[in-house]
Amino acid sequence: MNFHHRIAAIVSKELHQLARDQMTFAMIVMIPLVQLLLFGYAINTDVRHLPAGLVNQSHSAYARLLANSVEATQVVQFHHHYTSVKAAEQAITRGEVRAVLILPQDFTERLAQGKTLGREQPPVNAMDRPEQRPAAQWLVDGSDTMITAAIRGLRNMPLDELVDREVYQPVPSFEMVPYFNPEQRNVVNIAPGLVAVILSMTMIMFTSASLVREREQGNMEFLITTPVRPLELMIGKIIPFVFVGLVQAGIVLALSHWVFRVPINGSLLTIGIATLLFIMASLVLGLLISIRAQTQLQAMQMTFFILLPSILLSGFMFPYEAMPVAAQWIAEVLPATHFVRTIRGVVLRDADLGDLMPDISWLIAFALLGLLLAALRFNKRLD
């Protein structure tokens, strides 16, 4: 009786404080909203309209044709023309252009030799043509691998049409059927993962600040002279933010579904349960930080210490399987990793709780043990 009475007192106190803090209140809605729109629209691995330069030493009609058809791919746009390779290199260094296409003087001859430029050569005649050189050259600012990959994609551009030859189309060795995301849109994979990132961010932040703030503002000295028990305090601090977390997850998933046409294949109940567990694990993680930290600044730093690996290693950014083993171990400890797996599983593949048992049980264990640890570590003393 007393137990939940005091928890209710803390919950209602937290809600009053939250309601009065309009900035925080606005952020609860703005963070998921803006982040989803940003990730949904802005993050794009389809590289387009790269500023590029052209060094045309050939001056033939073919050269102009080639430049036009390269631009037609929309990968690059020739903003600048340079007279020498040296000038082009300097332009890349200056950051004026990301790549430069060099068409050599003997471009027309190379083309006319009947080379199938850039394309895999038909295996039949491979031995007959020992001296084959590509018709032109790309210089690329290789620091960004995404840009390099885009230009590399151009390498195999078929040029047969250019010289009026029959278009050669090799048969692929494999056929591919992409399940769950047939149109291969990035946002389908990103949106559910974004629920994990946003919840990690806001949930850990809320609770990591809460106990330290009371300590910094002097409330703690009074609070610990009252009969309130550590576990009551911890639970009371968590409950209001559970609802905040559910609202945020709801905003992200609803927007993804309606604005970005992300399919919600799993049941809402399963999604709700998984999200609830992750919210609790994150809030508890925040509490542990809050007990450790002496100041709000320290709490903030520790939050970021957890947040970055949660974003980078959880599988949200890069596939978990592609990471080195050591990074996978770290990832396994973080609740975010388990939730990214769970939420993608439920939302995209309609996996049920049984399929996701290892991750689900890990989240449960993390939340419960963390809560217990927080209650034990919280000292109702000043020393």
Partner 1 sequence: MTSPAIVTKGMSRYFGDHKAVDGVDLNIPSGSIYGFLGPNGCGKSTSIRMLTGLLTPTRGSVKVLGYELPHQAEALRVRIGYMTQKFSLYADLTVRENLYFVGRIYNLSGKVLRARVDELMVLYHLEAIDKQLAGSLSGGQKQRLALAAATIHDPDLLFLDEPTSAVDPENRREFWERLFDLCGEGKTILVSTHYMDEAERCHGLAILENGIKRADGSPQALMQRMGANVIEIDGGNNQLRQLKNQLIARPEIISAAQLGTRLRVLVSSEVPQPLIYLSKQLGRDEQKAQRRLQQVRPSLEDVFVTCTGNRNEFSP
Q: Which residues bind partner 1 (CB under 8 A)?
A: 2, 5-6, 8-10, 12-13, 16-17, 20-21, 217-228, 380-383
- Least Cβ distance, residue 11 to partner 1 (angstroms): 10
Nearer to partner 1, 224 or 327 (CB): 224
Nearer to partner 1, 223 or 312 (CB): 223
Structure tokens at 327: 């990074």
Task: Tell me the CA distances in angstroms from 90 to 57, 81, 95, 155, 361, one per residue in order.
Answer: 17, 13, 9, 23, 57
- Least Cβ distance, residue 366 to partner 1 (angstroms): 29
Nearer to partner 1, 20 or 94 (CB): 20
Structure tokens at 190: 């990103």
Q: Which amino acid is at 381?
A: R
Residue 177, phi then psi, degrees to nearest 5: -120, 100
Nearer to partner 1, 211 or 334 (CB): 211
Nearer to partner 1, 326 or 382 (CB): 382
Q: What is the DSSP letter of 52?
A: E
Give the DSSP H/E element, type plus range, for residue 274.
Answer: helix 268-292
Rounded CA-CA distance 205/203 in Å is 5
- Least Cβ distance, residue 5 to partner 1 (angstroms): 6
- Least Cβ distance, residue 230 to partner 1 (angstroms): 11
Nearer to partner 1, 189 or 210 (CB): 210
- Least Cβ distance, residue 245 to partner 1 (angstroms): 22
Query: ∠177-180-186 over CA atoms, to 5°?
Result: 100
Rounded CA-CA distance 300/42 in Å is 27
- Least Cβ distance, residue 293 to partner 1 (angstroms): 19
Nearer to partner 1, 214 or 359 (CB): 214
- Least Cβ distance, residue 232 to partner 1 (angstroms): 9
Rounded CA-CA distance 323/281 in Å is 24
Q: What is the DSSP letter of 120?
A: P
Residue 102, phi then psi, degrees to nearest 5: -110, 120
Rounded CA-CA distance 381/285 in Å is 22
